[in-house]
Chain A
Amino acid sequence: MGIAKKVFDYLDTRYELAPVVEFAQHKEVPRHRFEWAYYFGGFTLFFFIVQVFTGILLLLYYRPTAEAAFESVQFIMTRVQFGWLIRSIHSWSANLMILSAFFHMFSVLFMKSYAKPRELTWWTGCLMLALAFGFGFSGYLLPWNELAFFATRVGTDMVSKVPFVGDWLLHVLRGGEDVTGATLTRFFGIHVAVLPMLMAALLGLHLLFVQRQGIHVPVGLEEESKKRPGMKFFPSFAMREAVVWLIGLAVLAALAAYFPWELGIKADPFASAPAGIKPEWYFLFMFETLKLFPAHVLGIEGELLGLGAFSFLGVFWFLIPVLDRRSARGERSPLFTWIGMAALAYIAGMTILSFLGVFS
Chain B
Amino acid sequence: MRLADWIERERYLVATALMIGLALPALAQTPERKVTAGGSCLACHLQLDEARLHDPAAAFAEDVHNRPGLGCVTCHGGNPKAEDPEEAMDPKKGFRGAPKIFDIPKLCGGCHANDAFIKKFSPSLDTDQLAQYRTSVHGQRIASGDTRAATCISCHGVHNILKVSDPRAPVFPTHVVDTCARCHADAALMKPYGIPTDQVTKYRRSVHYEALTKRNDLSAPTCNDCHGSHGAAPPGVSSISNVCGTCHLQNMEFFQQSPHAEPFAEMGSGACEACHGNHEIKAPSDRLVGMGKGAVCAGCHDIDDPGGTTAAAIGASLELAVEMDDRAKAEVADAERKGMLMEDADVELEAANEELVKARIQVHKASLQAVVAHTSKAVSAAKKALEAAAAARREIRTRRAGLSVALALILIAIVALVLKIRQIER
User: Which residues of A are interface residues toward B (Cβ below 8 A)?
Assistant: 74, 77-79, 84-85, 87, 235-236, 239-240, 242-243, 246-247, 249-250, 253-254, 256-258, 260-265
A240-B421, A249-B410 known; A265+B337 contact, CB < 8 A: yes
Would B399 and A85 count as touching, CB distance under 8 A?
yes
Shortest B41–chain A CB gap in Å is: 55
A84-B399, A253-B403 known; A260+B339 contact, CB < 8 A: yes
Q: Which residues of A contact B399 (CB under 8 A)?
A: 84-85, 257, 260
Q: Give the interface size class of chain B.
A: 20 to 34
Q: Is B417 an interface residue (CB 8 A)?
A: yes
26 contacts between A and B (CB under 8 A): A78-B341, A84-B399, A235-B424, A236-B421, A236-B424, A236-B425, A239-B417, A239-B420, A242-B417, A243-B414, A243-B417, A246-B413, A246-B417, A250-B407, A250-B411, A250-B414, A253-B403, A253-B406, A257-B400, A257-B404, A257-B407, A260-B396, A263-B337, A263-B338, A264-B337, A265-B337
Q: Is B143 an interface residue (CB 8 A)?
A: no
Interface string of B386-421 (1 = CB under 8 A from A): 000000000010011001101100110110011011
Q: Is B237 an interface residue (CB 8 A)?
A: no
| Cα–Cα, bound, A84→B340 (Å) | 9
Chain B residues 332-347 with CB under 8 Å of chain A are: 336-341
A78-B339, A235-B424, A262-B339 known; A246+B410 contact, CB < 8 A: yes
Interface centre among A240, A254, A257 (most CB of B within 10 A): A257
Interface string of B334-377 (1 = CB under 8 A from A): 00111111000000000000000000000000000000000000
Would A246 and B414 count as touching, CB distance under 8 A?
yes
Would A250 and B410 count as touching, CB distance under 8 A?
yes
Would A78 and B410 count as touching, CB distance under 8 A?
no
| Cα–Cα, bound, A252→B410 (Å) | 11
Would B418 and A243 count as touching, CB distance under 8 A?
yes
Q: Which residues of A contact B414 (CB under 8 A)?
A: 243, 246-247, 250
Shortest A147–chain B CB gap in Å is: 11
| Cα–Cα, bound, A261→B336 (Å) | 12
The dominant DSSP class at the B interface is helix
Would B403 and A257 count as touching, CB distance under 8 A?
yes
Would A78 and B340 count as touching, CB distance under 8 A?
yes
Interface centre among B338, B411, B418 (most CB of A within 10 A): B338
Shortest B210–chain A CB gap in Å is: 22
| Cα–Cα, bound, A250→B408 (Å) | 9
Q: Which residues of B contact A257 (CB under 8 A)?
A: 399-400, 403-404, 407
| Cα–Cα, bound, A243→B414 (Å) | 6
6 A-B pairs closest in CB distance: A257-B403, A78-B341, A263-B339, A77-B339, A250-B410, A257-B400
Would A260 and B338 count as touching, CB distance under 8 A?
yes
Closest residue of chain B to A254 (Cβ to Cβ) is B407
B400's partner among A240, A249, A258, A261 (CB-CB below 8 A) is: A258
List 4 additional A-B contacts (Cβ < 8 Å) besides A85-B403, A246-B417: A78-B341, A240-B421, A246-B413, A257-B404
Q: Which residues of A contact B338 (CB under 8 A)?
A: 260, 262-263
Q: Which residues of A contact B336 (CB under 8 A)?
A: 263
Shortest B91–chain A CB gap in Å is: 66
Would B417 and A84 count as touching, CB distance under 8 A?
no
Would A84 and B339 count as touching, CB distance under 8 A?
yes
Closest residue of chain A to B414 (Cβ to Cβ) is A246
| Cα–Cα, bound, A154→B414 (Å) | 43
Closest residue of chain B to A246 (Cβ to Cβ) is B414
Would A253 and B341 count as touching, CB distance under 8 A?
no
Would A253 and B407 count as touching, CB distance under 8 A?
yes
| Cα–Cα, bound, A319→B405 (Å) | 47
Shortest A54–chain B CB gap in Å is: 15
Would A262 and B337 count as touching, CB distance under 8 A?
yes
Would B339 and A254 count as touching, CB distance under 8 A?
no
Q: Which residues of B contact A258 (CB under 8 A)?
A: 400
Shortest B344–chain A CB gap in Å is: 12
Q: Which residues of B contact A77 (CB under 8 A)?
A: 339-340
Closest residue of chain A to B417 (Cβ to Cβ) is A243
Shortest A160–chain B CB gap in Å is: 29
Q: Which residues of A contact B410 (CB under 8 A)?
A: 246, 249-250, 253
Q: Which residues of A contact B340 (CB under 8 A)?
A: 77-78
Shortest A84–chain B CB gap in Å is: 6
Q: Which residues of B contact A79 (CB under 8 A)?
A: 341
Shortest B335–chain A CB gap in Å is: 10
Shortest A120–chain B CB gap in Å is: 33
Closest residue of chain B to A145 (Cβ to Cβ) is B337
| Cα–Cα, bound, A240→B417 (Å) | 8
Shortest A306–chain B CB gap in Å is: 34
Shortest B317–chain A CB gap in Å is: 33
Q: Which residues of B contact A242 (CB under 8 A)?
A: 417
Q: Which residues of B contact A235 (CB under 8 A)?
A: 424
Shortest A71–chain B CB gap in Å is: 12
Closest residue of chain B to A238 (Cβ to Cβ) is B421
Chain B residues 318-343 with CB under 8 Å of chain A are: 336-341
Shortest A215–chain B CB gap in Å is: 19
